[in-house]
């Protein structure tokens, strides 16, 4: 196990270098320049102003030099400063948005898994009944409905018509002066709709996955054996079958980890949630290289870590993988 | 509709003292809400404005986006500002004199103005603002006008004297830039200054708090030199989606926003809405146009350009795209401004006339698809526009359909903003572009029309070249005599109407809406933002 772990961790190093190289190349290949984005179409800008800004951002240096400067900084965990006019450290910009995105995603993920697993099991054990079909239709509606549309409908209904829930943002104005409990309750209220919309869309994928994994397991001999032993159906499903059926879901969970720092642009824009999705989108649109590369590198790093954790969890859950190492 | 950051970069001059820049037109139409209750101006309460974009930095010198300038405009002042009728008047400067030869401007500061931290405002702050702006190390977009300055001195702590080499009409307006606090910035690196997130200004509101991506809170400056603003807090809420913002408005979450034409025309007409909100409508300071690449052989002949204009029904565009919330444009000056020439004869919508002009230019035969053909080549071109602007796309589609009826095959290509600039506009690699100009209050348009401004990255990217216009542009900017300037710009508009280097399409209306509890809003040629400090909420209606 230890050797397996060391090997996997050492493998991360060349991967990370490759990732920085690809990230850097891709963003510099995109047409358009950060300086253009700030200066173009403004008659008050002379040629000199452009050159001034190009130099300020170090974009006048040869590409390889820019790359090594950047990687050198990354190695020291410095992501540089944003090219947007606020010129703030990239890390600060990411840090102030990360908690919102992560908490929202974690809550949504918990709800997704918390709902998808029972739904999948239910659908599998009641296979081909009206319940199974009803569930299928329901989750696919969730899958097919455009997020922004659903969000707008909910906002109109719960926010404008009934006035039960706040429409957008994270806090009510003036909530800063309230007590902690009321402050958190207010924030929770703001999160209800976003979390609802976010999890509804992913229910389909996960629950179908769960259903097929469950069906796969249920049809195997050891389940028949368990039933023949006279175990109750509950024990058969929840103890014997579920354990094995969960294996593929562990992989999915691992894959979801990098997703935790990413946000959906559409969704964050609609709900006015200042998360990573908006930051990334705006940075790409304004060719804010350091921010774009910073987010990509962090994302890639988390993907690698996520994969590693998934593999380890897998190895932990399935002795065949653990013992077949080497 | 999501507004891209790039779209907001389409700003010509930004005068941050104005929140809603607009222009003169007699029929500015406020839609009155409930009868104004008899109440005297009271202090207190908050005004919450919804904004699609978040400010990037509150040091306006470094900002190139409208959101930053809107917020900074509440916090800082310039030496001069535009009043509600768009005349330049003193702001921090109590008065200013221009020497008879137009070469020297002397500003006299109001005595006793203090910065929000209590330090006095002096001529040193003005000198610092000038020096840091032209400092080659400062990454700013606003150095150009100040580079015309030959000499600047401060005879005493309340006087600044600026000298120019030749009279420069936009010079006075250029001193509307926000004056920065020298005592906090001098000798420090402005690009890493904490002031970009915690600004200290002289303006009616002082900075209180900025929660990234959520809100910026300003509080009334009780020591403001023109008297404290009535409303205690000015809060900008960042809501990137206009549908969400509109719902927030209806739910009472915000008090002020700009409506889209469809919201104005269709969704806010009900009594239940007009009872709670006042809608305003006046021409915005911008126009949409189709610019022809004049280096392209197809568009070298002005008859072709005139024909295309004649084939486009501008009224239909305004009805279809703006729900009637706009007016036809036929030149680069927005109707109602002093430099606007009302006598210019616009090319009216007349497809028959268009066909005649095209025939004169040699496009007579049509092929089996009904497309005009000359020497075997069909008449076709591509309209290029930027991604993320639904109004532009719809306009292009209507134009496409109209031109098809006279036998011109138009394609539409949408390109993301950064690539649009770099790969197409700057390289002159386009046939026709559809874009908008936001225009400054001063009519100087040297940078857009002068033939010298056609290098990559400059604004005469269509390659317009007209000796008379070149001369008139210089004449117009080199005198303070408004009659002389008017004559120059009137003639320029006549030439442009004849030459049609652009097909000027329309001037959209600005459509702000304000909660009815906010009183004292007074629409004027400058929009509604000019007297914001006098807005108030009657005591019995205050909610915050």
pLDDT (tens digit per residue) in B63-80: 878 888 999 999 999 999
Return the sign of the alpha-carbon dihedral for residues A233, A239, A244, A245: positive
Closest-CA residue in chain B for A164?
Answer: B251
Across the range A288-311, mean pLDDT stands at 84
Alpha-carbon radius of gyration of chain A: 25
Q: Is B141–A40 a contact, with Cβ atoms under 8 angstroms apart? A: no
Taking the C-alpha atoms of residue A22 and residue A17, their distance in angstroms, rounded to an integer, is 9
What's the gap in Å between the CA of B511 and the closest CA on chain A?
A: 21
Nearest to A278 among B12, B213, B421 (CB): B213
Would you state the structure tokens that stand for residue B82, as one six-digit string? 């535009």
This model's pTM is above 0.90: no
Pick from B481, B490, B488, B432: which is nearest to B461 by CA? B432
> For residue B375, with 0-12 CB atoms within 10 Å meaning exposed, 13-18 middle and 19 or more buried, which class applies?
exposed
Give me the pLDDT at residue B86, please.
Answer: 87
Task: Identify the band that residue A239 occupies on the pLDDT scale cut at 50, 70 and 90.
Answer: confident
Q: Is A40–B421 a contact, with Cβ atoms under 8 angstroms apart? A: yes
Assess A56–B contact: CB distance below 8 Å, yes or no.
yes
Across the range A143-160, mean pLDDT stands at 89
Tokens 């990370």 sit on residue: A16
- E strand or H helix that includes residue A37: helix A34-39
Task: State the ipTM, two decimals.
Answer: 0.78
Taking the C-alpha atoms of residue B464 and residue B445, their distance in angstroms, rounded to an integer, is 13
Sketch the domain layout of chain B as residue ranges.
286-509
3-state class (DSSP) for residue B216: strand
Pick from A197, A196, A192, A201: which is nearest to A166 by CA? A192
Q: Looking at chain A, how many residues does it have? A: 326
Report the b/e string of B267-281 with b at 16+ CB within 10 A: ebeeeeebebbbbbb
3-state class (DSSP) for residue B85: coil
Q: Is pLDDT at B23 greater than 90 in this prediction?
A: no
The CATH fold assigned to B286-509 is Dipeptide-binding Protein; domain 3 (3.10.105)
B356: left (phi over 0), alpha (psi -120 to 50) or beta: alpha
Would you state the structure tokens that stand for residue A164, as one six-digit string? 């039960």
Give me the pLDDT at residue B17, please.
Answer: 30
Give me the pLDDT at residue B27, please.
Answer: 39
Contacts of A284 (CB under 8 A, 6+ apart): A30, A292
Nearest to A152 among B56, B243, B417 (CB): B243
Taking the C-alpha atoms of residue A112 and residue A197, their distance in angstroms, rounded to an integer, is 11
Q: Is pLDDT at B42 greater than 50 in this prediction?
A: yes
Give me the pLDDT at residue B9, please.
Answer: 32
Residues of chain B in contact with residue A174, where contact means CB-CB under 8 angstroms, are 544
Taking the C-alpha atoms of residue B414 and residue B499, their distance in angstroms, rounded to an integer, is 27
Q: Looking at chain B, how many residues does it have? A: 544
Q: Is B421–A269 a contact, with Cβ atoms under 8 angstroms apart? A: no
3-state class (DSSP) for residue B326: strand
Closest-CA residue in chain A for B418?
Answer: A32
Residues of chain B in contact with residue A32, where contact means CB-CB under 8 angstroms, are 416-423
Across the range A295-304, mean pLDDT stands at 85
Task: Identify the band that residue B513 occupies on the pLDDT scale cut at 50, 70 and 90.
Answer: very high
Mutation pick from B14, B141, B177, B234 vs chain A, by most beta carbons of A within 10 Å, is: B141
Tokens 């400092």 sit on residue: B135
Give me the pLDDT at residue B360, please.
Answer: 93
Give me the pLDDT at residue B510, please.
Answer: 93
Q: Is pLDDT at A1 greater than 70 in this prediction?
A: no
* Contacts of the segment B458-464: beta carbons below 8 A, 24+ positions apart: B459/A41, B459/A43, B461/B291, B461/B425, B461/B426, B461/B428, B461/B433, B462/B291, B462/B292, B462/B293, B462/B294, B462/B433, B462/B501, B462/B502, B463/B293, B463/B294, B463/B295, B463/B428, B464/B294, B464/B499, B464/B501
pLDDT in tens, B213-240: 899 999 999 999 999 999 999 999 999 8
DSSP state of B3: P
């Amino acid at each position: 196990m230890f050797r397996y772990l060391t090997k996997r961790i050492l493998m991360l190093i060349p991967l990370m270098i490759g990732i920085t190289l690809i990230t850097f190349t891709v963003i510099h290949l995109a047409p358009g320049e950060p300086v253009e984005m700030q200066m173009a179409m403004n008659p008050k800008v002379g040629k000199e102003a452009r050159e001034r800004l190009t130099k300020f951002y170090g974009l006048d240096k040869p590409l390889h030099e820019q790359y090594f400067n950047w990687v050198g900084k990354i190695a020291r965990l410095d992501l540089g400063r944003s090219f947007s006019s606020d010129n703030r450290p990239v890390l600060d910009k990411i840090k102030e948005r990360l908690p919102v995105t992560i908490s929202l995603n974690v809550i949504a993920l918990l709800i997704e898994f918390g709902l998808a697993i029972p739904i999948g099991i239910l659908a599998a054990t009641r296979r081909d009944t009206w319940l199974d079909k009803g569930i299928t239709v329901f989750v696919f509606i969730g899958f097919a409905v455009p997020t922004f549309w659903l969000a707008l409908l909910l906002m109109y209904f719960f926010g404008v018509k009934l006035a039960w829930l706040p429409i957008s943002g994270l806090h009510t104005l003036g909530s800063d002066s309230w007590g902690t409990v009321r402050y958190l309750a207010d924030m929770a209220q703001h999160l209800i709709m976003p979390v609802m919309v976010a999890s509804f869309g992913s229910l389909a994928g996960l629950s179908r996955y769960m259903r097929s994994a469950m069906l796969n397991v249920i049809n195997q001999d050891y389940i028949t054996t368990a039933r023949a032993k006279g175990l109750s159906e509950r024990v058969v499903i929840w103890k014997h079958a579920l354990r094995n059926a969960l294996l593929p879901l562990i992989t999915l969970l691992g894959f979801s980890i990098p997703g935790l720092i990413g946000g959906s642009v559409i969704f964050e824009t609609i709900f006015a949630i200042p998360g990573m999705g908006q930051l990334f989108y705006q940075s790409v649109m304004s060719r804010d290289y350091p921010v774009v590369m910073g987010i990509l590198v962090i994302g890639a790093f988390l993907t690698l870590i996520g994969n590693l954790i998934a593999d380890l969890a897998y190895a932990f859950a399935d002795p065949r993988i653990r013992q077949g190492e080497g | 509709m999501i507004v891209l950051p790039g779209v907001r970069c389409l700003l010509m001059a930004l005068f941050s003292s104005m929140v809603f820049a607009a222009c003169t037109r007699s029929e500015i139409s406020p839609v009155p809400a409930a009868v104004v209750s008899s109440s005297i101006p009271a202090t207190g309460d908050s005004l919450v404005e919804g904004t699609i974009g978040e400010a990037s930095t509150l040091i306006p010198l470094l900002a190139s986006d409208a959101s930053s300038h809107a917020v900074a405009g509440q916090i800082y002042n310039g030496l001069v500002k535009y009043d509600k009728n768009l005349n330049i008047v003193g702001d921090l400067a109590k008065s200013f004199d221009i020497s008879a030869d137009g070469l020297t401007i002397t500003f006299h500061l109001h005595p006793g103005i203090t910065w929000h931290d209590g330090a006095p405002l002096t001529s040193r702050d003005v000198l610092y603002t000038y020096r840091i702006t032209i400092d080659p190390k400062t990454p700013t977009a606003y150095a150009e006008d100040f580079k015309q300055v030959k000499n600047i001195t401060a005879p005493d702590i309340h006087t600044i004297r600026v000298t120019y080499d030749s009279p420069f009409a936009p010079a006075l307006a250029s001193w509307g830039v926000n004056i920065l606090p020298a005592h906090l910035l001098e000798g420090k690196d402005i690009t890493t200054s904490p002031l970009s997130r915690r600004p200290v200004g002289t303006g009616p509101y002082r900075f209180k708090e900025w929660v990234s991506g959520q809100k910026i809170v300003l509080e009334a400056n009780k020591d403001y030199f023109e008297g404290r603003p009535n409303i205690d807090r000015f809060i900008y809420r960042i809501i990137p989606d206009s549908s969400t913002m509109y719902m927030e408005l209806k739910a009472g979450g915000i008090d002020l926003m700009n409506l889209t034409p469809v919201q104005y025309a269709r969704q806010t007409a009900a009594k239940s809405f007009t009872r709670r909100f006042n809608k305003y409508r006046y021409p915005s300071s911008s126009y949409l146009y189709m610019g022809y690449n004049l280096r392209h052989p197809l568009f070298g002949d002005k008859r072709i350009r005139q024909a295309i204009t004649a084939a486009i029904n501008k009224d239909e565009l305004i009805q279809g795209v703006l729900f009637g919330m706009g007016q036809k444009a036929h030149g680069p000056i927005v109707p109602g401004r002093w430099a606007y020439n009302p006598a210019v004869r616009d090319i009216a919508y007349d497809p028959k006339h268009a066909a005649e002009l095209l025939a004169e230019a040699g496009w007579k035969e049509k092929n089996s698809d009904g497309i005009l053909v000359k020497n075997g080549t069909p008449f076709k071109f591509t309209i290029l526009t930027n991604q993320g602007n639904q109004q532009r796309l719809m306009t292009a589609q209507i134009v496409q359909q109209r031109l098809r009826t006279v036998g011109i095959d138009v394609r539409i290509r949408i390109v993301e903003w950064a690539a649009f600039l770099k790969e197409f506009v700057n390289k002159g690699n386009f046939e026709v572009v559809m874009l908008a100009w936001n225009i400054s209050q001063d009519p100087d348009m040297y940078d857009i029309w002068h033939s010298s401004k056609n290098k990559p990255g400059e604004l005469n990217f269509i390659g317009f070249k007209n000796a008379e216009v070149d001369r008139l542009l210089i004449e117009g900017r080199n005198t303070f005599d408004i009659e002389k300037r008017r004559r120059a710009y009137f003639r320029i508009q006549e030439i442009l109407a004849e030459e049609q280097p652009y097909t000027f399409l329309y001037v959209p209306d600005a459509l702000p809406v304000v909660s009815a509890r906010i009183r004292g809003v007074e629409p004027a040629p400058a929009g509604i933002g000019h007297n914001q400090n006098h807005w108030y909420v009657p005591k019995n209606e205050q909610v915050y």
